[in-house]
Chains A and B, each alone.
Chain A
């Protein structure tokens, strides 16, 4: 009969025990999962079962992890995102959440830049931990992304982005993300990237502070190679602070826009 072992289809004898499967495919496994439920080694197997063998505390090899991710993603998606290079300018509330989403997707290479260090006020929305206070954000982020998927290549740049260094740092990206906090920095990055790295799409954000309605945050095409996420109005200000929910919504609009661009889909769902 055929079953799946760690997402690979294999032919086994009809009377195979789970203990025998473990001995053959992963003798070190101490956690046996059949069709989503942990079981013991006497659990009977039937055709079509999906068996996952895990060695607790051991990081899977790149090939193993990839097989597991491929099975979870729609066919064809993983192969395409694995080839992709994405740049992220600013890794605060938006950029850190976008980087986490793209790492979980298995995007091949992330080039991230930010000059800031992790501060206590960041923890209300940014993907850092209390034991990382004071670390350069790009170093803390690289550490966190490694814990999610060590086979995503993360290139951290602890620098302030300027008109001079933006084109060089992001020359090879397939899609660029603007994830800054300050309005002037956002405008500068957009202007500079679109003129200096022509032909590559850029996903920017404007307006996600406060606790206004979720559905006012939208993705729209704002220019030739420019997509814009946000409500375009709500600035961070006293009485309208930046908080995890709306910043997260905007970040994931941006991440999904990146994914759609990488897959050759129109981000707005219009025919291409």
Chain B
């Protein structure tokens, strides 16, 4: 799959959002994800398939405030 993740082209073997986050080594509990400009809630990460040319914003939160 050819994806655009945070503005960068990325080749990925992920078939769903959960697999992509594993590939990116990100904790699903610590991110917010926009797929083609729509927020995806984390209960749907497993059920959300990815397609060629999907555009993703993966926002990673670190602790502190």
| A183-B62, A223-B57, A223-B59 as given contacts; A195 in contact with B34, CB under 8 Å | no
A169 within 8 A of B: no
CB atoms of B64 and A236 under 8 A apart: yes
List residues of chain B with CB within 8 A of the CB of A233: 62
CA A247 to CA B64, docked complex, whole Å: 8
List residues of chain A with CB within 8 A of the CB of B64: 181, 206-209, 234-236, 242, 247
- Interface on B for A, CB 8 Å cutoff? 27, 29-32, 34, 37-39, 41-42, 57, 59-65
A142 within 8 A of B: no
Which of A18-26, A63-71, A185-193 forms contacts with chain B? Answer: A185-193
CB atoms of A226 and B32 under 8 A apart: yes
Q: Report the minimal beta-carbon distance from B28 to chain A, rounded to whole angstroms.
A: 9
A87 within 8 A of B: no
Q: Report the minimal beta-carbon distance from B56 to chain A, rounded to whole angstroms.
A: 10
Total number of A residues with any Cβ neighbor in B under 8 Å: 38
- Indicate which residue in B34, B59, B65 contacts A181 across the interface (CB closer than 8 Å): B65
11 A–B contacts from the bound complex (CB under 8 Å): A181-B65, A184-B29, A190-B59, A190-B61, A206-B59, A206-B64, A223-B37, A224-B34, A235-B63, A236-B63, A236-B64
List residues of chain B with CB within 8 A of the CB of A209: 62-64
Q: Report the minimal beta-carbon distance from A235 to chain B, rounded to whole angstroms.
A: 4
CB atoms of A191 and B63 under 8 A apart: no
CB atoms of B42 and A206 under 8 A apart: no
Q: Report the minimal beta-carbon distance from B4 to chain A, rounded to whole angstroms.
A: 14
Q: Which residue of B lies closest to A126 (CB)?
A: B65
Given contacts A187-B32, A207-B64, 15 further A-B pairs with CB under 8 A are A181-B64, A183-B30, A183-B63, A187-B29, A187-B42, A187-B61, A190-B61, A191-B39, A192-B41, A194-B39, A204-B61, A222-B59, A224-B38, A230-B62, A233-B62
Q: Which residue of B lies closest to A224 (CB)?
A: B37
CB atoms of A247 and B65 under 8 A apart: yes
Main secondary structure of the interface of A (DSSP, over half): mixed
| A191-B39, A191-B42 as given contacts; A207 in contact with B62, CB under 8 Å | yes
- Scan A82-120; emit 1 where CB is below 8 A from any B CB, else 0: 000000001011110000000000000000000000000
CA A235 to CA B60, docked complex, whole Å: 11
CB atoms of B32 and A232 under 8 A apart: no
CA A222 to CA B24, docked complex, whole Å: 18
- Indicate which residue in A90, A194, A235 contacts B62 across the interface (CB closer than 8 Å): A235
CA A186 to CA B34, docked complex, whole Å: 15
List residues of chain B with CB within 8 A of the CB of A237: 63
Q: Which residue of B lies closest to A186 (CB)?
A: B61
